[in-house]
Chains A and B, each alone.
Chain A
Amino acid sequence: MSLQSLFGGLQDTALAHLVSKSNHLVGAGLQVVHIFGFVLLLAALVLVCLRLLGWVLSEQPLPRVVGAARRLFRVGMVLAIVSGTLIFIATARLYLSNWAFGLKLALFAAALVAQITLLRPILKHEQPPKARARLAVLVSVVLWFGIGFAGRLIAFV
């Protein structure tokens, strides 16, 4: 199946029609939820990164800060993914030729891989090795900030 027919098929599902044929404020509402999801998950990530670098709450045990951030991160992730999927399928064909959308998805995939292979193993330590912690922070922040930029670019390319 070509990407074109896959995206077209998605756009022709009942769920996609429910979004695309509804009032334009439904689309606006989904955009609002998408931003909230992003704000929450990025805030959680930044909090953990700042703690990993020892720049905030350094006297607090790492698991305590990670525990507080994890809930925020999960809520943000669910909000962003659900709203993002609905926004995407409503006009899937439009996104096919949008390079910023492709970039955003690629960065998102890379961010998930980095999360699993770099960040998560480090967060299991009470005192993570400094060099590895810095690398994980750098990669995560660059990728997630990149996702934000690529997301904004979608409307302009």
Chain B
Amino acid sequence: MNEQVPPALAGIHAWAERIEFSPFGLAIAESRYAFAIIEGMHLIGLAVAVGLLFTVDLRLLGATLRDVPVERVLHQLRPWVIGGFIVIFVTGALLFWSAAGRLVLSPAFPLKLLLMLLAGANALWFEFVVVRSEALRGNPQRLPRAVRVAGLASISLWSLVIVFGRLIPYLPSWYPSSGT
């Protein structure tokens, strides 16, 4: 199956196959519906967490709920966004466990992880630097640049995470596919 392992990925691929062929990884992969059901939960968690996060981002950009103070939107939606992210991470870890070998060979997968790191860093910068500064005091009509930049970065990065996540099965290898 995996004769096309780039030499640079040989080590990580061997590690990933050990995870995939562990009893738990095999149990998920071999169950008729477990993988599909976990993927379904991954998708629902994504729609709730990233979907609601998009609502927050659009508010930061001044594109929706303009009459509601940003801090109010943040405070109210944060628990739901975090809850959804917990579902995504747990189900994502389970999916990785059962398919690690082929995941690490797809160029879309490391790109997705990198974009998640950047999106996470942006969220931390926003929560711990921008929100704690004076940027949101007094509910200004036109939000400061830093707030809008954080919103735009968040919506762009998470969109790309979704794009590369969905592309994983379509980009299975670094090498161009032979045939078809």
Partners in one complex: yes
Cβ of A35 under 8 Å from chain B = yes
Contact B35 A156 (CB under 8 A): yes
Contact B36 A153 (CB under 8 A): yes
Contact A43 B44 (CB under 8 A): no
- Chain B, residues 68-80, CB within 8 Å of chain A (1/0): the string is 1000110011001
Cβ of B163 under 8 Å from chain A = yes
Q: Which of B47-55, B120-128, B134-142 contacts A (4 or more CB under 8 A)?
A: B47-55
- Chain B, residues 130-164, CB within 8 Å of chain A (1/0): the string is 00000000000000000000000000000100110
**Which of chain A's residues have a CB closer than 8 A to the CB of B44?**
42, 145, 148-149
Cβ of B37 under 8 Å from chain A = yes
Cβ of B19 under 8 Å from chain A = no
Contact B36 A28 (CB under 8 A): no
Cβ of A103 under 8 Å from chain B = no
Instruction: Report Cα–Cα, A144/B37, bound state, in Å.
Output: 15
Which size bracket describes the interface of A in this complex?
20 to 34
Cβ of A132 under 8 Å from chain B = no
Residue count of chain B within 8 Å CB distance of chain A: 33
**Which of chain B's residues have a CB closer than 8 A to the CB of A151?**
40, 43
Q: Which among B36, B52, B167 is the interface contact of A46 at CB below 8 angstroms?
A: B52
Closest to B163 in A: A32
**Which of chain A's residues have a CB closer than 8 A to the CB of B64?**
68, 71-72
Cβ of A131 under 8 Å from chain B = no
Given A38-B47, A39-B162, A46-B48, is A56 in contact with B77 using a C-beta cutoff of 8 Å? yes
Cβ of B39 under 8 Å from chain A = yes
- Chain A, residues 21-37, CB within 8 Å of chain B (1/0): the string is 00011011001100110
Contact B80 A64 (CB under 8 A): no
Instruction: Report Cα–Cα, A46/B81, bound state, in Å.
Output: 11
**Which of chain B's residues have a CB closer than 8 A to the CB of A38?**
43, 47
Instruction: Report Cα–Cα, A50/B64, bound state, in Å.
Output: 17
Contact B162 A152 (CB under 8 A): no
Contact A39 B47 (CB under 8 A): yes
Cβ of B180 under 8 Å from chain A = yes
Contact B76 A57 (CB under 8 A): yes
Nearest chain A CB to B167 CB, angstrom units: 6
Q: Which among A35, A42, A56 is the interface contact of B48 at CB below 8 angstroms?
A: A42
Q: Which among A46, A64, A148 is the interface contact of B43 at CB below 8 angstroms?
A: A148
Contact A149 B40 (CB under 8 A): yes
Cβ of A16 under 8 Å from chain B = no
**Which of chain B's residues have a CB closer than 8 A to the CB of A79?**
none
Q: Which among B40, B55, B159, B170 is the interface contact of A148 at CB below 8 angstroms?
A: B40
> Interface residues, chain B, CB within 8 Å of chain A?
33, 35-37, 39-40, 43-44, 46-48, 50-52, 54-55, 58, 64-65, 67-68, 72-73, 76-77, 80, 159, 162-163, 166-167, 170, 180
> Interface residues, chain A, CB within 8 Å of chain B?
24-25, 27-28, 31-32, 35-36, 38-40, 42-44, 46-47, 50, 56-57, 60, 64-65, 68, 71-72, 145, 148-149, 151-153, 155-156
Can you give 6 contacting A-B residue pairs, CB < 8 Å?
A28-B170, A31-B170, A35-B43, A46-B47, A64-B67, A152-B40
